[in-house]
Each structure stands twice: as C-alpha cells, then as structure tokens.
Amino acid sequence: MDFDALRKNMVEVQLVGRGDITDKKVIEAFLKVPRHRFVSEKLQKDAYGDYPLPIGSGQTISQPYMVALMTQCLQLNGSEKVLEIGTGSGYQTAILAELANQVYTIERHPDLSKSAENITKELGYKNIYFKVGDGTLGWHEKSPFDAIIVTAGAPDAPKYLLEQLADGGRLVIPVGSEFTQRLMVYEKIKDEIKTNQVCACTFVKLIGKAAWKE
Ligand code: SAH
C-alpha cells in the first residue's frame, strides 16, 4: 500500500479540506507522522480513514481531524513543555513531539504505554517521556506545563491539571457526560481561567481520581 499517498490525501481532504485546520506546522506534522505504524497490522489499510480505530484494551485512536483540531488549539510554537493525558497508541504523542520541545505523556494501561514507547522510539523521537498511572493527577514534578492535552472525556477539567498549567498555558480537554462532550480550551492568565468551547465530540472515558470512576 502507498501509505505516503494515503497520508497526503488524508491531510488534503480531511484536514485542509474541512477549512479550519490552517496552522502550517500542524499540517506538516500530519504529513510526516506515519499513522499506520500506530495501529495493528490488520488495521493499517484503514489508518488514514476519516474515523477513530480500535487500539486494544477497549480504547481508540482518535479520528485524524480531531487530533489535528485539538493540536491546533494548543497553539504550539516549538518551545513548549507539553503534558498529554491518554497516550493510547502514541500517535497524538508523536504529533506533539514534532511541534513542541518536550512531551510528557501518561497512560493508565501499561501495555498501551509500552507499545507507544516502542513505536515512537523506532521512529526516532527523543523528546517524549512516558509514565503509567492516573493522568488526572497530572505530573507534579515536571510541572508547570505550557500546554496540557487530555485525549479522553472528563466530567470537568481536573483541578490538578489546571494547577499544573503555566501562566499563559492552555488545557485542551473534552468535557461532558460519559456519552458526549464539548471540546474545551482553558487558558490560564495570571491565575484567572478563560474558557472557550470548540465543538461537540465523543471520547472514551477519562478514568481516575479527578474524573470518572472505573
Ligand atoms: N491520544 C490517543 C487516544 C487514546 S484514547 C491516541 O491517539 O491513540 C484515550 C486514552 O486515555 C486511552 O488509552 C485510555 O486508557 C487513557 N486514559 C483514560 N483515563 C486515563 C487516566 N486517568 N490517565 C491516563 N490515561 C487515561
């Protein structure tokens, strides 16, 4: 299969074609990162489709457009320290590693974390730090973060994550019920939090102390 052609088509039709993914660096990152390497061999042919895919442990790799939209909301310029909650396949992690200086990523399923670590190492990323645990608590020792992205749906923005945001930092997170959420951006400006709604979305549950119970 010509994965390069499929990837180029994905970017042209699903990202640029929808009209609202305009950040050139984000577009370049999506052209570069081989999404098919983050799914099982039998799903590789579907890796560039306009939908989420299963990645094991009952979890999913998000639709490419949603990954792009969330990434663009972070407004990265390359110098940032980023925290990601929900490593999953590691695809979003790799996109972030293209666009930021350092990426800290937490996943509650050890097997997903390990395979994401293996594949990103194979692809040559050296600016990603992996942790297995409850991401709703953040990663206190490494805080503050210029940007935090949560790739699972929460009942509310976890307070620990808002606390670990640097001044001027942004938290992007789906917030709502277990079944449907709104993609939210929280921006910290001198200890005040400015809130913005982006769109409706559907994510798997964020499970942890400051989110849903298992
Ligand atoms: N960004 C991932 C999306 C994975 S789905 C990708 O592109 O593949 C969301 C992930 O969040 C799942 O892997 C799930 O196990 C994880 N998750 C849920 N609650 C979590 C928590 N409290 N801490 C860390 N990871 C969590």
| Domain residue extents for the chain | 3-201
Q: What is the mean pLDDT of each run of 10 residues along the chain (214 residues)?
A: 97 97 98 98 97 95 98 98 98 98 98 98 98 98 98 98 98 97 97 96 97 95
pTM over 0.95: yes
For the CA of 106, the closest atom of ligand 1 is: 24
Tokens 């010509």 belong to 2
Span from the CA of 188 to the centroid of ligand 1 (angstroms): 24
What element of type H or E holds 167? strand 165-176
Q: Is the CB of 95 under 6 A from ligand 1?
A: no
pLDDT of residue 9: 98
Question: 91-95: long-range contacts (C-beta < 8 A, 24 or more apart)?
Answer: 91/33, 91/35, 91/38, 91/61, 91/67, 92/62, 92/67, 92/149, 92/151, 93/120, 93/128, 94/33, 94/38, 94/120, 94/123, 94/125, 94/128, 95/26, 95/29, 95/30, 95/33, 95/67, 95/71
For the CA of 55, the closest atom of ligand 1 is: 8
Q: Is the CB of 44 under 6 A from ligand 1?
A: no
Ligand 1: residue whose CA is nearest its atom 4: 88
pLDDT of residue 168: 97
Q: Is the CB of 151 under 6 A from ligand 1?
A: yes
pLDDT of residue 120: 98
Span from the CA of 152 to the centroid of ligand 1 (angstroms): 6
Span from the CA of 5 to the centroid of ligand 1 (angstroms): 29
SS3 30: helix
Q: Is the CB of 120 under 6 A from ligand 1?
A: no
pLDDT of residue 191: 86
79 is catalytic: no
Side-chain half-sphere CA neighbours of 90 within 13 A: 28
| Angle of the 91-99 helix axis to the 24-32 helix axis, nearest 10 | 130
CATH 3.30.1360.120 at 3-201, yes or no: no
Within 8 A by CB and 6+ apart from 94, the residues are: 33, 38, 120, 123, 125, 128
∠ Cα 136 166 94 (to 5°): 65
